Every structure is written in structure tokens, then in C-alpha cells.
Structure 1
């Protein structure tokens, strides 16, 4: 038993590289007050590790092994309805996979809706009794969440030399509500905080409606499942079509099954390998070189 435990610990250490926490500069929110501190816990409702009550945006930097480091970096925004962050399956586990391919990862904790002790319970209750309230609260905070995303790009690009990343290969990937942040970044960047590629994964287009992209919008790969119970498949198709109509570089992977929030969870479905399709796309686009 002790031998098995030692092997597990060694594998865990290899799989997830050491992280560095970076506090991001940010404008104080004028219409939201966080009375409860940031909290990380295992949600029995969602059956995954979550973070709630984020009032100060941070980046957790997972640096690729120097032997395979490509200089490419991805800022990853986990989902959770802006009431929580699915920090493991849509954050840390994504980082563990990508860093082995030589891609540096910055997991973004963007600002969330202030909640009680259990933000997942709060949004779950509202979804049953007062779903309109969710939209009202999200609308207050989302502009700050997007600002956090833009600041994350600005920070990584400004400090690229110290961080060991390429200033022209900084991407943004987001899941669900993090996908809304991703598209908010896509529509609001300036010269210095423009992402070099975009990866919206089952993006929440109700929170961030599809818009006409900028003329210099970066290449993008859209990922979703047709059976998404929140109806996000159509929004993902609309995002893709908006790039296509503007004659911009875009790819779409729409799985027939996968549901919502699959992230890095294994379901025994083709959607389990979405991250491999992203990696292949990044090689095809000349963003990433193949890691030996």
C-alpha cells in the first residue's frame, strides 16, 4: 500500500507542475460587494472542486517543462455560471494536460457574483425558483470579469520575458461562463491585450450575445456538444458563423453527445478528446510545434 501511495504521489507531482499565484491589477467594482471571502471546496451538487466569491482576480501560472516548452501560453477561464469556478476539470486539469505538450497555462480566477457560503447551492436554488435573478446578478459582474480577462493578457504580454512565453502566442480559452468571458475579451480587446487565438468551449452566449467580430479578430476553435442541456450548441454555431461571414479563421468541433460542463471529465465519449483536437488545431495553425 505504501508503495502504491508513493507511486501515486510521484505521478501527481509529474502531472501537475508547480504553480505561481499572480495578483492582477483591477478596477474596484462599483455595484458589487463581497461579504464572504473567496472559498475553495468540493461541491456535492456539481460533484467537483469549485471556487466561489472571487473578488480579487488572480492567475495561477503552470509553466511547461523547459525541455518541451514551446513558448505558447493559454489563459484558461473555468466556467460555473459566474457564481463559481469549476477549478479542477475546467482549470487545473486542463493545465496538467497542456503543460505536458509544452504549452504554458495561466488559470484565471475572474471576479464572480457575491454569494453566501455555497455559491453552487445559491445558483442551483435560483435556477429553480428565480432564474431571471441569475441574469441580473451576472450582468452586474460580467464587465469586471471581462476586464480581468483583458488584464490577464496584458500582464502575460508585458511580463513575457520573465515568464518565458512568446508575446505573439498568447491565447484565451474559456468554458461556459468562462466562454462568455472569452467572447467578451474577443469583442473588447485593444492592441496590447489582443489574444492571439481563442478557444470558447460551450460558451454561454445568453450572457455574452454573439456580435460581429473585429476585422483583426484572432483565429478561433469553437467546441461544444449538440445535446448541451443549456441549449448552447446554437450559440456556438452562431459564433463560428460570425467568424466565417467575416472571412476570419475559424474551426468548429460539435460533438453529437457530451452534454454541458464536460471539461476534462471522462464520459467514454468522443468529446473526451476535445483537448487533443485543440492541440492538433494549434499545430495546424502554426501556433504550437509538436512536443516530442
Structure 2
């Protein structure tokens, strides 16, 4: 009974610790760019938020860090953010593994394509700046994203501006990758680069065309029956990674549609959580 009580107490303390994030503003001294949106943040149904005007990160620290950190970019078509099942709901699962888990609340592009990526770059800068304080290895920081948030995560992995903002690995849930019509998610494309983007801009944010040998290793997962973001997005990115000799793994589950995140009603939740946990523990390699 004493052993059981000890582990119950440990689990509860871990859960409580994980549920108390550190909130940090991305740009306390002013933002470097604008998306033209003003007003106040909007709380929508299902844990979603819109009109983010004060981007920030929520940092969930484990009781005992293994040195790894992951920054999560929730999805929402570059119009809103699913902060629950594609954000905060995963905190305890990561922190019990010893991983520092960071949820990024980023600004919407509103046609200003540079805005979300600038927020993602600032998020990883902040995490690296606090690495010693938070018991994180600055060379073991990954980016993760779902749907349009997956596009932002893959943008950071391919379009990072310096080694300071290059992630060490990437984890993508059913990501938007391409901006090509017929492959992309139409809403994400319009919100990010507009209805009639130049060919150059479309190519820049078609991330399967931006992969090179320095792109960080990747874990990609999706459902084969995704009717919102065609599987061709993930498949094209996976092929580009392999072509450039970047370590990558892809898991395609037969059913599930789009947007499952950490929801329990996804049939293959036990599979993806087990496979990702093993990959983070054994499949990621680091150059330190």
C-alpha cells in the first residue's frame, strides 16, 4: 500500500506541476512586424482562440528534466488556434517523460506571411536563452505543429534565419505543407499568402521545395482519410526529406480524418503516442 500511495502521490504532484505553466510574452519590447489586426483576443468554442494580439509561450516544466524541449504550434487554418487538444492538453503527457513542453500562441498572418514565422523564431530563441535555467540542453529543442501549425513548424524547420532559431527536430501532425492549389488547404493558403500570390511566394511556402540537407530530422503522422488536408502534403515532404538524406519517419493511420490532436476518440491514439514516445527516446539523434 505504501508503494501504491507513493506512486499515486508522485503522479498527482507531477500533474499539478505540469498544469502550472510559466507564461512569457514573445515581444515585451514591441513587435518587429504587424499583421494589421487590433482589438482584443477572442475566446471561441472548443478551447480555440482568435485575434491573438499579444503572442506568448506557456512553458510546462517537468519535475525532472531529460534535457529535451518541444515547442507546439496549434492548428487552426492560420485563422485561429486550437489551444486545447492541439496545445495545452498534451502538457502532462510530455512532462511525465521529462520533456519541457512549450505551447506557442502565435499571431495570425492576415495576409502578412512573415508574422507567424517571426513568432516561432522568437519562441525558440527564448527557450534557448532560458536553457540553463530550465535544465534544457540547447541542442535538444524541437518544433511541433498540427495542421496549419504543422506548416508553421515545418516553416521554422526549413526557413529558419540562423542557427539560433534552427530546431533540432520536428514533429508534424497531419500538416499543411504545400501552398500549391489542389494540394494545399485552401483556407490556410489564402490566410497566409493571399488569394493571388506570386509564383515566388507560393514556392517559398511550399515547404517540400525548401528541404535541404540541413533540415532537421522529422516525425510525421496523419490519417489516410484526411479530407481537409490531403495526405499528399505529408507524403511530398517525406519524400523531399529522404531525397536530401534527412532522417524521417512517417505514420499513416487508415482512419481518423483531420484534427484529432490529443483527443481520446481518435482510434489510433495509443499507437501514435507510443510511437512518438519511442522515437523521442530512441529515434532522435543530436549533434552536440
- Shorter-chain TM-score tier: 0.7 to 0.9
Q: In structure 1, what is the Cα distance between the partners aligned to 2:24 and 2:268? A: 35
Pick the aligned partner of 1:86 from 82, 86, 98: 82
- How much has 1:109 moved relative to structure 2? 0.4
* Paired position in structure 2 for 1:251: 249
- Say which is worse superposed, 89-98 or 11-20, in terms of deviation: 11-20
Distance in 1 (CA, whole Å) between partners of 2:223 and 2:144 is 17
- Separation in structure 1 between the aligned mates of residue 245 and residue 171 of structure 2, nearest angstrom: 18
Please say if residues 19 and 92 of structure 2, whose CA atoms lie closer than 8 Å, have aligned partners that are also in contact.
Answer: yes
RMSD: 2.2
Relative to structure 1, the CA distance from residue 37 to residue 268 in structure 2 (aligned partners, 3 Å threshold; closer, same or farther) is closer
Q: Which runs of 5+ in 2 are unaligned?
A: 1-8, 178-183, 190-204
Measured against aligned partners, the alpha-carbon deviations of 1:162-209 in whole angstroms (never above 9, x if no partner) come to: 122110100000001101101110121121111000011111122442
**Which of 203, 225, 240 matches 2:223?**
225
Question: For residue 73 of structure 1, what is the aligned residue in structure 2?
Answer: 69
The question of whether the paired residues in 1 share the 8 Å contact of 2:66 and 2:99 is answered with yes
Kindly tell me: are residues 15 and 158 of structure 1, through their superposed partners in 2, closer, same or farther at Cα, counting changes over 3 Å? closer
Distance 1:15 1:161, change over 3 A: closer
- 1:145 is matched with 116
Q: Distance in 1 between matches of 2:23 and 2:271?
A: 29
Moved >6 Å (runs of 4+): none
Gapped regions of structure 1 (runs ≥ 5)? 1-6, 114-136
**1:200 alignment partner in structure 2:** 172
CA gap of 1:231–1:60, structure 2 versus 1, over 3 A, is: closer
Structure 1 equivalent of residue 240 of structure 2: 242
Shift of 1:212: 3.5
Give the structure-2-normalised TM-score. 0.79
Task: Work out the CA distance in 2 between the residues paired with 1:227 and 1:204.
Answer: 15
1:90-115 CA-partner distances (Å, limit 9, x unpaired): 001111211111111110001025xx
Q: Does residue 106 of the first structure (1) align with residue 109 of the second (2)?
A: no
- SS state at 1:199 partner: strand
